[in-house]
Amino acid sequence: MDTVETASDLRTRVAKWRREGARIGFVPTMGNLHNGHFSLVTLCREKTDRVVASVFVNPTQFGPNEDFARYPRTLGKDQEGLASHGCDVLFAPGIEEMYPFGIDAAVRIEVPKIGESLEGAMRPGHFAGVATVVTKLLNLVQPDVAVFGRKDYQQLLVIERLVRDLCLPVDIIGAPTQREADGLAMSSRNQYLSVEERGKAGTIHATLRAMRDALLVGEPLEKIESLACRRLVEAGFVPDYAVLRKREDLGEPSRTSRDGLIALIACRLGKTRLIDNLLL
């Protein structure tokens, strides 16, 4: 596996593959990779001839009080893992390469409505940062296929919307969430949890499953959401939300709706913010 740091080097390699008739896949990441990320690479490898992954901790998707500075950077370990899972090229640019005019002067891409609720409301500007950097990366790689995890479900919807609205010629694939033995969704932020907190963290997935079960027996949606929040609080979490939404656009469902829904949770455990979801 080769590692490149500049757009010109990346484009040189991709152009060579294009001339050879290769089908190209792309997996964008922020690094500090784990088995959840590697499952995306594996899926991408199955559907393409060549795989590009990126490692870039994108500053524009972090808020002023979020963890950009302490987000773990583990490039050497990431390179080893990507190479062993079939990645052909790793693109690891610096901030200046991705934002040549500086962050404050960068062009920004907004995805209205679908990016404004839930995470968009809790983290103003987050999805503009995501949409901007993903558009840049897709333009640089110009893949046939790009793979994103469903754990960040709202992010996946935002990316699907921008690709469709900007007429980008790439197929977006949402990959299943990879979980630990207790159901906790794999995430780079899990390492922030203390031993005691890690013992509680599986409660998030258990709560999502309880929401699903309550929906199946006909409980009112408001009661399902209320009980989910109470369960999290009693376990020591501070919920930002525990809600049922329409899976197609995260709009609020009618109170009698039972089909096409997704349960989503965002909460804090100690200093760590965790998100998860479950299609119903």
Residue ranges covered by each domain of the chain: 2-175, 188-279
Mean pLDDT of 175-200: 96
Tell me which CATH homologous superfamily contains domain 188-279: Pantoate-beta-alanine ligase, C-terminal domain (3.30.1300.10)
Q: Is 266 helix (H, G, I), strand (E, B) or coil?
A: strand
Q: What is the value of pTM for the model shown?
A: 0.95
Tell me the CATH architecture of domain 2-175: 3-Layer(aba) Sandwich (3.40)
> Locate tokens 């409660």: which residue?
203
Which residues are 269's β-sheet partners?
272
pLDDT at residue 74, rounded to an integer: 96
The angle at the Cα of 155, spanning 79 to 149, to the nearest 5 degrees, equals 45
pLDDT at residue 257, rounded to an integer: 80
Band (pLDDT 50/70/90 cuts) for residue 64 is: confident
Please name the amino acid found at residue 86: G
Query: CA 7, CA 98: separation in Å to the nearest integer?
Result: 9
> Which residues are identified as catalytic?
37
pLDDT more than 70, % of the chain: 100
Mean pLDDT of 105-128: 96
Mean pLDDT of 203-213: 98
Mean pLDDT of 133-145: 98
Band (pLDDT 50/70/90 cuts) for residue 7 is: very high
